[in-house]
Amino acid sequence: MSPRVYGAVALAGVMALAACGPSDGGDAAFGARVRAYLLSHPEVIQESAARLQAKLASDDEAAERRGRALLPRLRAAVERDPADFVANPGGAITVTEFYDYRCPHCVNAAPRVLALIHAHPDVRFVFKEMPIFGPVSEHAARAALAVKAAGGDYLGLYEQLMAARGLDDETVDRLARQKGAIQIPKTNPHLAATAALFSKLALGGTPAFIVGDTIVYGDDMDALDSAVEAAEQKTSKTKVARS
């Protein structure tokens, strides 16, 4: 049982007891009877967990459908926000990644992200700072944007932050200064705008990649490669049709 499902089942149980339990001082006896019943019939908890898990999955799928439906209207914010760093800015195909430097799945994806950028100069790669792992992650995102604003080596910082182990503010500051940051602001409104976009698209977690109308959730890099290949083929056919 996932922590999300377990927690929801536990909360549902508590709410049920609160709603059904007697208020005349017999709470302890009632609770003991419920506990005894559940211990004797653990399949009740399993059934509840299964139903809840199915509902949560259905809710997630519905949210993802709504996010994909909004994607065409949010295209400019996803692909053309001047506050984002872009590798291969002249590329005909755009890939956008939402990521966090302390996200283990983002760390796993980073080497292949860099390989994709170097091997495919036709891929215009947009970096969306999406810190979800606490203050250190947010500090790293602000530091990266400070490097970008200063015209420093953003891509080099991305590589080093993803490769760092036990990332902390001191390491972030040192690496950011090495890559050109002049000053790291304590706030950056662009992060709030990215978080709002992330929520509207119901991306759920990091990393998340967007290629055209395709969203790749998590570090499924094979799926990302397939999406890029499909976009390249589509672009090639368009060029042939126009010639």
Domains of the chain: residue spans and CATH: 3-65 (no CATH), 80-242 (3.40.30.10)
Q: Provide the token pair at 167.
A: 């990332």
Amino acid, single-letter form, for residue 169: D
CA distance 144 to 106: 15
| pLDDT per position as a tens digit, 199-212 | 999 999 999 999 99
| pLDDT per position as a tens digit, 29-62 | 877 887 787 778 778 777 767 776 666 555 456 6
Whether 89 and 124 have beta carbons less than 8 Å apart is answered as yes
pTM: 0.76
Whether 109 and 94 have beta carbons less than 8 Å apart is answered as no
pLDDT tens, residue order, the chain (243 aa): 444 444 554 544 544 444 444 545 567 787 788 778 777 877 877 776 777 666 655 545 665 678 779 999 999 999 999 999 999 999 999 999 999 999 999 999 999 999 999 999 999 999 999 999 999 999 999 999 999 999 999 999 999 999 999 999 999 999 999 999 999 999 999 999 999 999 999 999 999 999 999 999 999 999 999 999 999 998 877 666 666
